[in-house]
Structure 1
Amino acid sequence: MLTRVSEALVKPGREEEFVARVRELVAGFPTTYEGLLGHEVLVDLDDPRRVRYVSRWRDEQALEDYAGAGWRTDPVTFPDEDEYLLQPLTLRHFRHVD
């Protein structure tokens, strides 16, 4: 299993709007992407401008089906996302250890 973490640094005053937009966009992912095992949108308690989308994937192929061939380096974005962001998304991947 792999976990993908995309982190956004949102412009001040746009946090609630950004979170609502992300939640709306990802709501249908569980039925769209078979290999998605779970996901959540997280807001940093100390800095609500930091928002993470965390998703857990069955394997690399499932993650590639979602994010494309460049899944290791290319964040998945939505149109006009840059209106909300202070900087480009950061992206990290983690492999689960049993």
Structure 2
Amino acid sequence: MMTRVSEALVKPGREQEFVERVRALVATFPSTYAGLLGHEVLVDLDDPGRVQYVSRWRDEQALVEYAGPNWRTDPVTFPDEDEFLQRPLVLRHFVS
């Protein structure tokens, strides 16, 4: 199993709208990506501008089907996402 963490640092005052857009976007992922084992959107209690999308994937091929061949370096984004962000998304990957 592989876990992918995409972390956003959201501009002040845009946190709620950003989280709502991300949650709406990922709501269809379980029915769209067969290799997605689970996912969640996390908001830091001490810093609500720090938001993570954590997704767990069956294997590397499932992650490639979601994020493309450059899954290690290229984040999956939504249109106009950069308007919400203080900096580009940070990606981390883990195996278990």
In structure 2, the residue matched to 1:52 is 52
1:4 is aligned to 2:25: no
Task: Report the Cα distance in structure 2 between the residues aligned to 1:38 and 1:64, rounded to whole angstroms.
Answer: 16
| Structure 1 SS opposite 2:25 | helix
In structure 2, the residue matched to 1:29 is 29
Pairwise CA distance, 1:31: 0.2
| Structure 2 SS opposite 1:88 | coil
TM-score (norm 1): 0.97
| Structure 2 SS opposite 1:21 | helix
Task: Report the Cα distance in structure 2 between the residues aligned to 1:36 and 1:67, rounded to whole angstroms.
Answer: 12
Q: Identity of paired residues, percent?
A: 80
Q: Which runs of 5+ in 1 are unaligned?
A: none
Structure 1 residue ranges, 4+ long, deviating more than 6 angstroms after superposition: none
1:14 is aligned to 2:30: no
Task: Report the Cα distance in structure 1 between the residues aligned to 2:39 and 2:74, rounded to whole angstroms.
Answer: 18
In structure 2, the residue matched to 1:63 is 63
Alignment root-mean-square deviation, CA: 0.3
| Structure 1 SS opposite 2:88 | coil
